[in-house]
């Protein structure tokens, strides 16, 4: 049965600010979604009170919670039966992507690009999941588009059939969205490579620095994502079958490719930046060279005119009306002689 009940809350706008400790923060609802998935593609929406009730059939429970809501901590510590360390991992204020195994189950902490409107994609969003093969409890702080995808699949009667299927679908959905961001990054590098000759150097340097910062920020968490998924591949849980392991390997390979593409984009941006710096240095050297040649030509002429301009008696030609033109012609001839002399010496 496709879930249509009112117990499952819709995905909310991202919550911002510190961990709630104010009266306003206490109004944040803890439950975002809760479903009993029957293992055949159907699901039933649950409300907060029905989470502890037994459910018939061979399905499993999925509870999706708002991490910074006070009721989330109460549910995890008092109602869920999770190990204390697992609860701490799910509620930690900050952590890196990882997979942590417990006797009862495992915690998976992975990151995805931030696709929320008006936010930076490199400001990664975290998804933390607990599963013991009978249920999946996931927590987030900011909105995750991949949860919308799973919710839409449930609405169409194509719900995940096993806990492993749900975990892998969420991990794969987060990973897939990285691809669009990385492709856009590569296209921007391509565009800047074409503009390195004619673009304004200041604008180009700013754009290149922004690309390198974004690539570094994305790689910081995408790399550990690969390690978290790879650990599941190498040491899968008992409730994962060989097909699940193959799907996880595909996700890990995809992340590896994205990490390599990020490294390539960062290196290409660095090469373009070096080429831009080289062109700017060459242009500066050319300008300095021209100024040096001009200074070399006019230095003797300046000495001569300075000598003729001293205000002392006995200056030759002071009373001759043609002396100015004679001196001017002499300066022109001297300048031409200097030019050809420098050219013969191959200084210009």
pLDDT, tens digit, 9 for 90 and up, residues 26-80: 578 889 999 999 988 899 899 888 887 777 778 899 999 999 888 999 999 988 8
Measure Cα distances from 90 to 73, 109, 135, 139, 196 in Å. 9, 8, 15, 7, 46
Structure tokens at 283: 């242009």
Measured on CA atoms in the order 30, 146, 221, 17, is the torsion positive or negative? negative
Residue 17: pLDDT above 70?
no
Q: Does residue 18 have a pLDDT over 50?
A: no
pLDDT at res. 159? 92
- CA–CA dist 166, 178 (Å, integer): 19
pTM: 0.71
What does the pLDDT look like over 306-340, one tens digit per residue?
767 776 666 676 677 787 788 888 888 888 888 88
Whole-number Å distance between alpha carbons of 226 and 36: 30
Q: What's the rounded mean pLDDT across residues 78-87?
A: 90
Cα separation, 237 vs 138, whole angstroms: 17
Confidence class of residue 9 from pLDDT cuts 50, 70 and 90? very low
Q: Which residues contact 170 (CB under 8 A, 6 or more apart)?
A: 127, 129, 138, 146, 147, 150
On the CB side of 168, CA atoms within 13 Å amount to 26
Confidence of residue 6 (pLDDT cuts 50, 70, 90): very low
Residue 337 has a pLDDT of: 84
Checking if the pLDDT of 93 tops 70, the result is: yes
Beta strands in 58-201, from DSSP E residues, in sequence order = 60-66, 98-101, 106-112, 125-131, 135-140
Asked if the model's pLDDT at residue 197 lies above 50, the reply is yes
Nearest residue to 139 (alpha-carbon basis) of 79, 101, 83, 92: 92
Q: What is the pLDDT of residues 152-179, one digit of tens each?
A: 999 999 999 999 999 999 999 988 888 8
Mean pLDDT, residues 5-28 taken together: 45
In the prediction, which pLDDT does 10 show? 40
**Mean pLDDT across the stretch 193-200?**
67
Closest CA to 4 of 135, 151, 145, 138: 151
The three-state secondary structure class of 54 is: coil
Q: Give the model confidence (pLDDT) of 100-121 as tens digits.
A: 988 888 999 998 887 776 666 6
Q: What is the pLDDT of residues 226-235, one digit of tens each?
A: 889 988 888 8
């Amino acid at each position: 049965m496709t879930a249509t009940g009112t117990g499952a809350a819709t995905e909310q706008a991202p919550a911002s600010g510190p961990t709630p400790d104010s009266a306003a923060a206490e109004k944040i609802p803890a439950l975002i979604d809760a479903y009993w998935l029957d293992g055949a593609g159907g699901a039933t929406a649950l409300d907060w009170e029905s989470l502890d009730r037994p459910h018939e059939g061979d399905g499993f429970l999925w509870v999706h919670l708002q991490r910074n809501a006070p009721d989330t901590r109460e549910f995890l510590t008092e109602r869920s039966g999770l190990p204390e360390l697992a609860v701490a991992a799910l509620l930690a204020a900050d952590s890196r992507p990882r997979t942590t195994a417990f006797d009862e189950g495992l915690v998976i902490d992975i990151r995805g690009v931030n696709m929320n409107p008006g936010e930076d994609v490199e400001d990664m969003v975290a998804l933390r999941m607990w599963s013991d093969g009978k249920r999946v409890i996931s927590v987030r702080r900011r909105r995750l588009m991949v949860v919308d995808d799973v919710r839409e699949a449930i609405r169409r009667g194509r719900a995940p059939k096993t806990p492993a299927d749900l975990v892998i679908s969420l991990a794969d959905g987060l990973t897939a969205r990285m691809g669009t961001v990385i492709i856009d990054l590569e296209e921007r590098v391509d565009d800047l490579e074409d503009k390195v000759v004619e673009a304004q150097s200041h604008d180009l340097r700013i754009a290149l620095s922004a690309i390198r910062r974004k690539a570094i920020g994305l790689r910081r968490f995408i790399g550990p994502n690969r390690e978290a998924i790879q650990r599941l591949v190498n040491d899968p849980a008992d409730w994962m079958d060989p097909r699940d392991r193959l799907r996880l390997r595909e996700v890990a390979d995809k992340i590896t490719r994205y990490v390599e593409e990020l490294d390539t984009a960062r290196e290409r941006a660095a090469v373009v930046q070096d080429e831009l710096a080289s062109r700017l240095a060459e242009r500066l050297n050319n300008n300095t060279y021209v100024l040096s040649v001009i200074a070399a030509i006019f230095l003797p002429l300046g000495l001569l005119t300075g000598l003729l301009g001293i205000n002392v008696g006995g200056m030759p030609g002071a009373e001759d009306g043609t002396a100015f033109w004679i001196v001017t012609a002499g300066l022109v001839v001297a300048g031409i002689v200097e030019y050809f002399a420098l050219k013969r010496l191959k200084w210009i």
